[in-house]
Amino acid sequence: MVCSVLGCGWMGLPLAKFLVEKNNRVKGSTTREEKRAYLEEQGIEPYCIKLYPHRIIGDIAQFADTDVMILNFPPGRYKHEISVSFPATVARLLEGIRQQPPRHLLFVSSLSVYGDSSYTVTEESPTFPMRQSGVALVEVEELLQKSGIPMTILRMGGLVGYNRRPGRFLAGRKNLIQANAPVNLVHLDDCIHVIWEIIQQKRWGEVFNVCADAHPSRKEFYTFAATKMGLPVPTFSDQQTEGGKYVSNEKLKKSLNFSFQYADPYQMVN
């Protein structure tokens, strides 16, 4: 099988390595020419591809000649007008691969598409993003679903694992709100194994929430995580505020017969 990983960064690179270990031919993209040699050393066919709203630099047609193309590049939370530029970039990508599209697409999205709802969220819940990045992701999901390419969307929880340690996330911050809001996290290893199961089981045309089973409160979890690392603990406001969604992963677990290795966020703290 041929897999193309568009975006060999924090998740994409270990994902590409995993796919190589599973004896797949793997194409991986980077925006940095100097990274090509490293990708090649890992058994990944390197492509230098840069995507913009009005142009693509690199051989996107050859890269897209694949059984599964995994779109794993985030909109960027702090970029200006990302709710406009990110969908335009993906639209340009779809135009660039229109003549020879991949056989399947897998898009790494985010739970931010649901906003800060104060109830249990499933894949059937309405999207109501509060930030520009979430608005951009909702529009991109719709664009991809209309592309005609068999595809699946994975709405990932907060990503943790290895050098992305949750103890650092809120350490030392003061007077934070939503002390009792549930956390919705997922470990990198579980993300990779979910993607592999989607590919293996050929589960296309789906939307799945990807997050751990347990949802401790923000206050309890981030206090524990900071303490574990010996960092200043965050403090939270006594004022009770609305918001904080509890995300269900039941559809994913039942559909794929999947069990999370890191089912409880406390297992992710190191």
What residues does 6 pair with on adjacent strands?
A: 71
3-state secondary structure of 160: strand
Provide the residue range defining the domain that includes 111: 74-161+185-214+245-262
CA distance 179 to 238: 8
Q: At 159, which helix (H) or strand (E)?
A: strand 158-160
Q: Is residue 127 part of a domain?
A: yes
Q: Is residue 196 part of a domain?
A: yes
Answer yes or no: are the C-beta atoms of 208 and 251 closer than 8 Å: yes
Q: Is residue 119 part of a domain?
A: yes
CA distance 128 to 110: 12
Q: At 139, which helix (H) or strand (E)?
A: helix 132-145
Non-local (6+) Cβ contacts of 232 within 8 A are: 171, 172, 226
The tally of domains found in the chain comes to 1
3-state secondary structure of 213: coil
pLDDT digits (tens, 9 = 90+) for 95-151: 999 999 999 999 999 999 998 877 899 999 999 898 899 999 999 999 999 999 999
Pick from 120, 116, 184: nearest CA to 156:
184
Q: Is residue 155 part of a domain?
A: yes
> Cα angle at 134 between 133 and 137, to 5 degrees?
90
Total residues belonging to the chain: 270
Q: How many other CB atoms are there within 10 angstroms of residue 73's CB atom?
A: 21
- Written as tens digits, the pLDDT of the chain (270 aa) is 999 999 999 999 999 999 999 999 999 999 999 999 999 999 999 999 999 999 999 999 999 999 999 999 888 755 668 889 999 999 999 999 999 999 999 999 999 999 887 789 999 999 989 889 999 999 999 999 999 999 999 999 999 999 999 999 999 999 998 899 999 999 999 999 999 999 999 999 999 999 999 999 999 999 999 999 999 999 999 876 666 899 999 999 999 999 999 999 999 998
Q: Is residue 190 part of a domain?
A: yes
CA distance 250 to 263: 12
Q: Is residue 240 part of a domain?
A: no
Q: Is residue 79 part of a domain?
A: yes
Q: Any idea what the CATH number is for the domain that residue 147 is in?
A: 3.40.50.720
C-alpha 34: how far from chain center: 25
Q: Is residue 254 part of a domain?
A: yes
